[in-house]
Amino acid sequence: MTEPLIALAEIVRPHGLRGEVKALLLTDDPGHVAELGACYLWDAGSDARRPSRVEQCRVQGRAAILALEGIRTITEAEQVVGRLVAVPQGALAPLPPGTFYASALVGARVVREDGVEVGEFVGLEAAPGQDLWVVRGNGREYLIPAVAEIVSRVDLQARRITIRPPEGLLELSTQ
């Protein structure tokens, strides 16, 4: 079996004419990407993995401008838009108990404590007070604060997140 990958960034567009790309960071530590070196350009849908290397990284807020091995033209950069910059799970430092990489949650079911399904975890957005988990379901997109008062349980094995949303939270949506 192929080792699971952890996504650290998502390539969103070419940057300039020399093959650099702009990538949204999926980690709260930009150093993970800046010091990465060897990585994969990963299409999570098909599990296609292209070995690569981060040759240069300039962090700009929640994004980074990356120079990747083997990508030297805007045409080559366009071909990797939508790919994830990822590493094998075993290549990352172990996390303290009770913590996890947000990318490991992508695709997990999100349910209320009463069992009602809310949607699917699709990513996270950094916010000044705490991260917001992006959940899609029922034709809507919800931003769920990633705090213990709301997120009551995360079961990575079962790919299930249980939440205790305060009244009115799920009536708010971004769409």
In tens, the pLDDT along 126-138 reads 677 788 888 999 8
**pLDDT surpasses 70 at 175:** no
User: CATH 2.40.30.60 region(s) of the chain?
Assistant: 5-91
CATH fold for domain 5-91: Elongation Factor Tu (Ef-tu); domain 3 (2.40.30)
- The CATH homologous superfamily to which domain 102-171 belongs is PRC-barrel domain (2.30.30.240)
How would you label 94-117 residue by residue, b for 16+ Cβ within 10 Å and e otherwise? eeeeeeebbbbbbebbbbeeeeee
- Is the full-model pTM beyond 0.75? no
What is residue 29's predicted lDDT score, i.e. its pLDDT? 72
User: CATH 2.30.30.240 region(s) of the chain?
Assistant: 102-171
